[in-house]
């Protein structure tokens, strides 16, 4: 599974939507000195190899809280990674706990997923495809951008990046990726990406505009943290894009994801066990909501 991508309510700590799975990046070892690195491309290749190797070896699984704002809708989900697919349970909608009817429908959805291996495999294939695209885009980094050293805070190094005019993207995802400039922070000692902040510096046109475009000024931010030694996860993901797709369909993609309360779980956890853990989390959340409501009522009396 790709540890530098984000995926959606059911796996958003890795692959958010298709336009962001490929926007994460890294650079290689940079000495914490106030001078540019001697060979950025070589250094970048070293960190890419490091990220991909860590991702290939990583077999850990996590449970975490995902708060997601998409358009005018805000949701809070509890998410669990399993060996078959990532499973989530909705806890609240637009700041309010679920009604009895909403909770029942969520539980029915969860039961249906757990009892349907084909649906789990479908979700897993979609996640693997997102991972594959992320890896391919990640490998493009030495050629896709030009970099400039900006400074450092201890082992954290800041680099500015901009599109390399000699690079020619071969897919729609790569077009969006290559149309950005901005800055990134990396941990120079651990060779890992800490933060990526980019924005589109030009309109991105698909197939001469026939399949649509994204407007200049769209932005993307991702932040990562090391949860335990060697284990890096996305903790924040923000996307703001405008444009049109498929001739006349306007889009306004506004997405803000925040991942927290990470707990490591057994790597062999199955879907049924995950569902039980999610129900326990939902029950605990309901108890907390009730206690908070009681405290608020006492204060207002």
- Chain segment 197-220, per-residue pLDDT in tens: 999 988 877 766 666 778 888 898
Q: Is there a domain that residue 16 lies in?
A: no
Whole-angstrom distance, CA of residue 104 vs CA of residue 167:
51
| Cα 102–Cα 104–Cα 107 angle in degrees, nearest 5 | 110
The Cβ-side half-sphere exposure at 176, using a 13 Å CA radius, reads 26
| Res 30: pLDDT | 30
Q: Is there a domain that residue 13 lies in?
A: no
| Res 37: pLDDT | 46
Whole-angstrom distance, CA of residue 282 vs CA of residue 94:
16
Task: Give the chain's mean pLDDT.
Answer: 79
Averaged over 63-73, what is the pLDDT?
93
pLDDT in tens, 270-297: 999 999 999 998 887 755 654 454 454 4
Q: Is there a domain that residue 53 lies in?
A: yes
Q: Is there a domain that residue 25 lies in?
A: no
Whole-angstrom distance, CA of residue 36 vs CA of residue 30:
9
Q: Alpha-carbon Rg of the chain, whole angstroms?
A: 21
Q: Is there a domain that residue 157 lies in?
A: yes
pLDDT above 70 for 236? yes
| Res 38: pLDDT | 41
pLDDT in tens, 122-163: 999 988 888 888 788 778 877 889 988 888 888 888 888 999
Helix or strand run (H / E) with residue 265: strand 249-265
| Res 12: pLDDT | 41
pLDDT above 60 for 13? no
Cβ atoms of 217 and 61 closer than 8 Å: no
| Cα 52–Cα 7–Cα 73 angle in degrees, nearest 5 | 150
CA 219 centroid distance within chain: 14
Cβ atoms of 174 and 18 closer than 8 Å: no
| Res 96: pLDDT | 94
Whole-angstrom distance, CA of residue 131 vs CA of residue 209:
27
Contacts of residue 244, Cβ cutoff 8 Å, sequence gap at least 6: 212, 213, 250, 251
Whole-angstrom distance, CA of residue 220 vs CA of residue 213:
16
Domain residue limits at 66: 40-300
For residue 74 the two structure tokens come to 């805000």
Q: How many C-beta neighbours within 10 Å does residue 83 have?
A: 16
Q: Is there a domain that residue 86 lies in?
A: yes
Q: Is there a domain that residue 32 lies in?
A: no
Q: Is there a domain that residue 26 lies in?
A: no
Task: Please count the structural domains in the chain.
Answer: 1
């Amino acid at each position: 599974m790709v540890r530098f991508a984000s995926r959606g309510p059911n796996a958003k700590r890795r692959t958010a939507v298709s336009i962001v799975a490929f926007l994460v990046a890294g650079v290689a070892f940079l000495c914490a000195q106030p001078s540019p690195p001697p060979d950025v491309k070589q250094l970048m290749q070293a960190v890419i190899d490091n990220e991909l190797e860590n991702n290939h070896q990583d077999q850990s699984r996590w449970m975490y809280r995902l708060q997601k704002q998409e358009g005018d809708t805000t949701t809070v989900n509890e998410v669990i990674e399993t060996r078959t697919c990532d499973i989530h349970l909705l806890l609240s909608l637009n700041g309010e706990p679920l009604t009895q009817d909403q909770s029942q429908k969520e539980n029915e959805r969860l039961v249906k997923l757990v009892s349907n291996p084909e649906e789990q495999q479908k979700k897993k294939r979609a996640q693997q495809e997102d991972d594959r695209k992320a890896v391919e885009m990640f490998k493009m980094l030495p050629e896709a951008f030009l970099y400039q050293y900006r400074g450092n805070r201890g082992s954290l190094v800041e680099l500015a990046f901009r599109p390399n005019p000699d690079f020619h993207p071969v897919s729609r995802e790569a077009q969006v990726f290559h149309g950005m400039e901005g800055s990134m922070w990396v941990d120079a000692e651990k060779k890992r990406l800490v933060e990526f902040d980019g924005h589109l510096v030009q309109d991105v046109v698909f197939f001469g505009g026939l399949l649509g475009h994204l407007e200049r000024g769209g932005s993307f931010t991702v932040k990562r943290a090391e949860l335990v030694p060697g284990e890096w996860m996305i903790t924040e993901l923000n996307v703001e894009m405008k444009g049109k797709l498929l001739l006349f369909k306007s889009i306004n993609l506004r997405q803000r994801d925040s991942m927290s309360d990470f707990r490591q779980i057994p790597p062999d956890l199955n879907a049924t066990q995950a569902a039980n853990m999610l129900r326990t989390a939902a029950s605990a959340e309901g108890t907390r909501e009730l206690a908070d409501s009681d405290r608020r009522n006492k204060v207002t009396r």
